[in-house]
Structure 1
């Protein structure tokens, strides 16, 4: 038997995708929703997969601090430097993203909805690793909705070795 919990959170964030052409070259915002699923083969002794309160608080704190009411841009996007100079909140994707919190997106060049799902999956995996949890508990899915009709889902690797390599890649970027 597998047990699963889901945590949802919403945030307001702008992004732009100049590499795609079309209307998404413009800076525009969405009311994003993120849903993170954590599964475990059996419950912990306290009857949980992971304690909702602590995990939810940590995940929401990351989103609210780094994404909500800000902009997600490629690190090389000229708007990133301009907005930072103006004191705006900017979360940068790509190799040249210098901030510690941006390590989750260094190998993701642009803030597409698919890349945001991967980035938030990495954040959730890192945060889960710091929580009391059931044996074998892991992030099994991240669904990110940027509009009522556009959603991306990310399912992290299922093997422990592949998950460990993914986390090592993120931590090595520090």
Structure 2
């Protein structure tokens, strides 16, 4: 028995910093991020896993609203409060009392590329759950690239 998959890609420009790690990532810096999400299902409904347009629109809108042209920071990072005070777009990882969008990252402390992949897997899963989809459809893989040579994947184990 086979598995059907669909793939959605999107890119966004976002800064982050990793003060808990030594080295140059302590500095606030930006990347041209690329996200690739795979949704899998054992069978099709009406010939599809999920309608591409609706899934793409929801995922892209979420990324553009909450991440694009902003900064991803740990909630404990002093820069998060400073940037928010100056009306900058900030998405906080590990926020104890997160806004509704930040709930996807409340147990992820810092915006490492691995954590961003897991965050986006949760976002895609939430979008999928709100759409008509084939029975058993799930987010099987999310790959995130922060540069041409640095990437991470989050895979659902089933």
TM normalised by structure 1 equals: 0.88
The secondary structure found in structure 2 opposite 1:35 is strand
Superposed CA deviations along residues 123-171 of structure 1, whole A, max 9, x for unmatched, are 111110000111111000000000000000001232xxxxxxxxxxxxx
1:124 paired to 2:87: no
Superposed CA deviations along residues 52-98 of structure 1, whole A, max 9, x for unmatched, are 00000000000000000000000010000000011100000014252
The secondary structure found in structure 2 opposite 1:29 is strand
Match in the other structure for 1:66: 66
Which whole-Å CA distance do the structure 1 matches of 2:31 and 2:68 have between them?
10
TM-aligned CA deviation for residue 99 of structure 1 = 1.1
Q: Is 2:74–2:95's contact at 8 Å kept on the other side of the alignment?
A: no
The secondary structure found in structure 2 opposite 1:147 is coil
TM normalised by structure 2 equals: 0.97
Mark the runs of 5 or more structure 2 residues left unpaired by the alignment: none
Q: What count of residue pairs does the alignment treat as equivalent?
A: 157
1:102 paired to 2:102: yes
Q: Is 1:75–1:97's contact at 8 Å kept on the other side of the alignment?
A: no
Q: Is 1:73–1:92's contact at 8 Å kept on the other side of the alignment?
A: yes
TM-aligned CA deviation for residue 9 of structure 1 = 0.1
Indicate the RMSD between aligned Cα atoms, in angstroms. 0.8
Match in the other structure for 1:39: 40
The secondary structure found in structure 2 opposite 1:55 is helix
Match in the other structure for 1:25: 26
Which whole-Å CA distance do the structure 2 matches of 1:25 and 1:97 have between them?
25
Match in the other structure for 1:91: 91
Match in the other structure for 1:171: none
Which whole-Å CA distance do the structure 1 matches of 2:99 and 2:85 have between them?
15
Which whole-Å CA distance do the structure 2 matches of 1:150 and 1:79 have between them?
24
Match in the other structure for 2:154: 154
Q: Which consecutive segments of 4 or more residues in structure 1 shift more than 3 A?
A: none
Q: Is 1:19–1:25's contact at 8 Å kept on the other side of the alignment?
A: yes
